[in-house]
Amino acid sequence: MQVSVLASGSKGNAIFIEMDGTRLLVDAGVGVRRVARALGELSVPLESLDAIFITHEHSDHVKGLETILKHTGAPVYARPGTLRAMTSDVLPEDRLFAIHDAMDVGPLRVSAFDIPHDAADPVGYEIAGSRKCTVATDLGYVTDTVRSAMEGADVLVFESNHDRQMLRQGPYPWPLKQRILGNRGHLANDEAGRALANLKSRPKKIILAHLSETNNRPSIAEETVSRAFAEIGVTPLPLAVALQDEMVTA
């Protein structure tokens, strides 16, 4: 299995997952050139994608979809509410399909699970074959459903969006700060750390994702999450941090 976060952050998100001979893209928030270049570094042709899964309709997760679909025949899957929210004249409706709970793509089982975020019908994805990868970002908080999907992942891509103090003292207007801090916003570093530290079946690899470039730093996210492990007396897990402009592979 290979998991590569091609881009992560408020400017655009995309994750490539290859498992058991099947190639998936989760989210398409950056343009086709960026995706093709990153996949090229992995020796993966863009046209070889088997499917694209969308977590929700916000622009940083779908704005590259139109151009990407011109270069691959891969079908696109999302929850029905997400499809309604993002369907427009520029997206070919015959390429868009609904995923309700779970479906098979080749030998892989892709399960969509609900996440608390201010979008039409947002989800994370649990992708299971010979191994398991879970993608859980854009979380207001960690629900039991999200926690269950995280348990036992071989690779977990998990949100660590902001440092609370940096956000509160930063330049964002107060309504935006309230949205981010709310239970349908984004997950703070300390919340991410507690959720990870308290898992019963800990992931083998963790990629912290969707970091705010304004209200976070990779070193702060990594330090805060690692501290949560230390506070309950468990050994911290190795962490990688996904970046906006660089590909990170687990």
pLDDT, tens only, 107-165: 999 999 999 999 999 999 999 999 999 999 999 999 999 999 999 999 999 999 999 99
* Superfamily of segment(s) 2-249: Ribonuclease Z/Hydroxyacylglutathione hydrolase-like (3.60.15.10)
**Please, what is the Cα angle at 116 between 111 and 119, to 5 degrees?**
90
Question: Residue 239's CB: how many other CB atoms inside 10 A?
Answer: 20
pLDDT-wise least confident of 84-88, 129-133, 198-202: 84-88
Supply the pTM of this predicted model: 0.96
User: How does residue 90 score in pLDDT terms, banded at 50, 70 and 90?
Assistant: confident
Q: What is the mean pLDDT of the chain?
A: 96
Residue 89: per-residue pLDDT: 67
Taking residues 97-103, what's their average pLDDT?
A: 97
User: How does residue 235 score in pLDDT terms, banded at 50, 70 and 90?
Assistant: confident
Residue 221 has pLDDT above 70, yes or no: yes
Distance, in Å, from the CA atom of 205 to the CA atom of 185, rounded to the nearest integer, reads 25
Distance, in Å, from the CA atom of 146 to the CA atom of 142, rounded to the nearest integer, reads 6
Domain boundaries, the chain: 2-249
